[in-house]
């Protein structure tokens, strides 16, 4: 269905993908307008529909693209089984920051996916959303939780870290420039604090 799109130059593809990601990530599905994307990255209105048929199709595509790309990177950089919970969650944030090199708004888009409440948007991306969650679970399965006396505790902490980092990342996106290194330091503060109390790994 999006074959035509892939026949273009990679550069132009990425320009359009980044435009769409930015607008969708910042405004959410319903409030994002195709005109915004035209302004953001030049490609004409007709072209978006030529490649993606509809706003729905575009959203499906971009979300699915973002998820696939993120899963791929996670796969490459987080696969060394046997990492501890803390190191892995921190590493995961570093991967996200790396992703921003190519697709600056990809991590924010993924956060917005997980928080999206618009029913239409949810139905359009249900597959991508689930496959992202599943991929994360697969990664989490490999975590070495032996440091924790009660395994259940580690899951609660995992959830807390995830929620907290998501919140912080959203804040960083609201600043004029996303300060990558500062963001990672901030995450590290939490990890170090937790390590001090709750398991060393």
Partner DNA sequence: TATGAATGAGCCTTCATTCAT
Partner DNA sequence: CATGAATGAAGGCTCATTCAT
Contact footprint for a second copy (CB under 8 A): 26-28, 30-31, 115, 117-118, 152-153, 156-157, 159-164, 166-167, 170, 174, 189-190, 193, 196-198
Instruction: Tell me which of DNA, a second copy, none is bound by residue 43, counting a contact when its beta carbon lies within the kind-specific cut-off of 5 to 8 angstroms.
Output: DNA
150 by DSSP, 3-state: which?
coil
Kindly state the tokens that stand for 144.
């070495």
When CB distances are held under 5 to 8 angstroms depending on the partner's kind, the choice from a second copy, DNA, none that residue 95 binds is: none
Q: How many angstroms separate the CA atoms of 64 and 31, rounded?
A: 19
Q: How many residues bind DNA (CB under 7 A)?
A: 22
Q: Does 22 bind DNA (CB under 7 A)?
A: no
Does residue number 33 form part of the binding site for DNA (CB under 7 A)? yes
43 part of the interface to DNA, by CB under 7 A: yes
Spell out the residues 6+ positions from residue 154 whose beta carbon is closer than 8 angstroms to its own: 85, 143, 145, 147, 148, 199
Distance from C-alpha of 21 to C-alpha of 108, rounded to nearest angstrom: 9
Rounded to the nearest 10°, the torsion over CA 127, 132, 135, 139 is: -160
Running DSSP on this structure, what letter comes out for residue 7? T
Binding-site partner at residue 53 among DNA, a second copy, none, CB < 5 to 8 Å by type: DNA
Footprint of DNA (CB under 7 A): 4-5, 7-8, 12, 32-35, 42-47, 49-51, 53-56
């Amino acid at each position: 269905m999006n074959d035509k799109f892939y026949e273009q130059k990679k550069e132009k593809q990425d320009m359009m993908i980044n435009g769409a990601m930015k607008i969708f990530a910042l405004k959410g599905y319903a409030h994002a307008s195709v005109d915004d994307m035209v302004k953001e990255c030049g490609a004409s209105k007709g072209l978006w529909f030529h490649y993606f048929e509809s706003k729905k199709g575009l959203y499906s595509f971009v979300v699915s693209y973002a998820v696939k790309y993120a899963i791929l990177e996670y796969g490459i950089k987080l696969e060394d089984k046997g990492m501890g919970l803390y190191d892995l969650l921190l590493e995961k944030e570093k991967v996200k920051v790396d992703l921003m090199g190519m697709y600056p708004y990809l991590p924010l888009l993924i956060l917005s996916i997980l928080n999206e409440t618009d029913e239409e948007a949810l139905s359009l991306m249900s597959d991508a959303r689930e496959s992202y969650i599943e991929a994360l679970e697969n990664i989490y399965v490999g975590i070495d939780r032996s440091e924790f006396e009660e395994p259940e505790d580690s899951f609660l902490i995992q959830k807390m870290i995830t929620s907290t980092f998501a919140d912080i990342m959203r804040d960083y996106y609201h600043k004029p420039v996303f300060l990558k290194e500062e963001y990672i330091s901030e995450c590290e503060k939490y990890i170090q604090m937790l390590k001090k109390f709750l398991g060393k790994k």
